[in-house]
Amino acid sequence: MDYAAAKSTMCRQCGRHFSPTDPKPGLHIRAQESASPAAEATGFRKIEGLWGGKRNRVVSCFECKRKHEVSDAATSTNCPGCSTHIDLRDYKITTPFSRSIRTRGELHLTAKGDLSSTSVICRSAIIEGKLRGNLQCEDSATINFVGKIPGRLTANYVSVERKADVQCYRRVTVGSIDIKGRMSGEIVASGAVTIHKTGVLDGNVTAKSLTIDKGGIFSGGLVIGQGDLKQAELLPEATQLPMGAEVESEQPSIPPATAQPLPAT
């Protein structure tokens, strides 16, 4: 099917250019008979499209944090709530780079890359080169280089690879972290901190749990519990009494006959 006033067109199957003309009456039946293979090909393409169809993913807005669904092939979108532009591109840095990055895509800092941006926000990151600024990952961050990180590192999950030897000058805020290489710095985790058999951690840790495999090394202070727990929250609530009132200490009266000696400790 094509536009009736068209002077030329192109075959959708072989790509050959030709001038359209009205089909002859005798060819109309043949066209219907030969339509069966085309229908089978169309059905095959539909089935093939189901297997290799485009997938969608959910992204959140930088400003209002509203989540919506976009295609994996999209490079940008706008928030349906506040109309903020959202970058969805992936970044691969192989040279010195100093501009700020804010994307819901992936970041790959290669061994020859030098990222000195003051603020980097991405979905996930692979760090193999120099990172001089702050890094905030929505999902995960993989560290696989030897060097120093002077900026803040925030991620839902962090993996310090086996060949890594990283020194973090500022606090590392994570959901959970796996340490397979060497790392020094302060870690605040809302979940678990795991030091594998090849891992070495030197620094203070505040986490919900700490797991050290046989062969792993940990050196530093440890606080198990909530990171924002205050000292006053550990004390029981005191009963308020009027001024001048005396507090009577209640001592249980135990008959001498039933009193039992306390076990030695």
- Domain limits, the chain: 56-88, 89-228
CA distances to 13, 25, 27, 187, 241 from 30, in Å: 18, 10, 5, 75, 103
- pLDDT tens-digit readout, 49-91: 555 556 888 888 988 988 888 888 888 899 988 988 999 999 9
Contact of 66 with 60, CB cutoff 8 Å: yes
Cα separation values, 63 from 53, 75, 78, 138, Å: 31, 19, 11, 14
Prediction pTM value: 0.64
Please classify residue 201 by burial: count the beta carbons closer than 10 Å to its beta carbon, then call 0-12 exposed, 13-18 middle and 19+ buried: buried
Q: Cβ neighbours of residue 69 under 8 Å, at least 6 residues apart?
A: 56, 57, 58, 59
Pairing of strands 56-60, 67-71: antiparallel
Per-residue pLDDT tens over the stretch 135-188: 999 999 999 999 999 999 999 999 999 999 999 999 999 999 999 999 999 999
Separation between Cα atoms, residue 98 and residue 209, nearest integer Å:
37
Helix (H, G, I), strand (E, B) or coil at 186: coil
d(CA 201, CA 221): 11
Could you read off the pLDDT of 81-123 as tens digits, one per residue? 898 899 999 999 999 998 899 999 999 999 999 998 888 999 9
